[in-house]
Structure 1
Amino acid sequence: MSKAVRAYAEVLRLVRHLPKDTRGYYSKYARENFVNYRHVDSSTLHELFQRTYHHSLWVLKKYSIDQSSANRLKDICSL
């Protein structure tokens, strides 16, 4: 499985930790971003994975959710 697909799957797992009324918005937002960036060159991938991780942390913090739940995403994005 590609790194991008693993990161997307992990982001969707993190969305399940969010309040129920926000899950639809964030899952749609994640999908749109992964679709929009599917044809980028490999030189920008590392930056996009870092943005994915940091934005996920921001959202978790916004809803007061333990950021340690994003450890798997950190592992995926830092490879």
Structure 2
Amino acid sequence: MANAGLRAYREVLRLVRRLPADARPYYAKYARENFVNYRHLSADDDLAGLLRRAHDHSAWVLSKYSIDAAEAAGRLKEICGEGGAE
């Protein structure tokens, strides 16, 4: 399950590259801070819930910048959806 967190982080950083250049540093830093804050979670904690929250927030940010979140965040949704199954 911890592997799902790392894969989700990588995918979020890929999505940040789709944002306008002036917004990328802010969201890259925001993503890093959030993933670092929760890196200590174990399988017993609500990692699946945090992964879902990462997907939801990423989709919101993409739609804020008029990027089709359903298409762009499909991989992240797969990673976050399977987070509870690992």
Q: Give the gaps of 5 or more residues in structure 2.
A: none
Tell me the number of residue pairs that the alignment of Structure 1 and Structure 2 aligns.
79
TM-score, scaled to structure 2: 0.88
Structure 1: 5+ residue stretches without partners: none
What fraction of aligned residue pairs are identical, expressed as a percent? 59
Counterpart mapping for 1:1-79 below 5 A: 2-42=3-43, 43-67=45-69, 68-79=71-82
Query: Once superposed, what is the RMSD of the aligned Cα atoms?
Result: 1.2
Which runs of at least 4 in structure 1 moved beyond 6 Å after TM superposition?
none
Give how far 1:41 is off. Answer: 3.6
Q: TM-score, normalised by structure 1?
A: 0.95
Partner-residue secondary structure (3-state), 2:23: helix
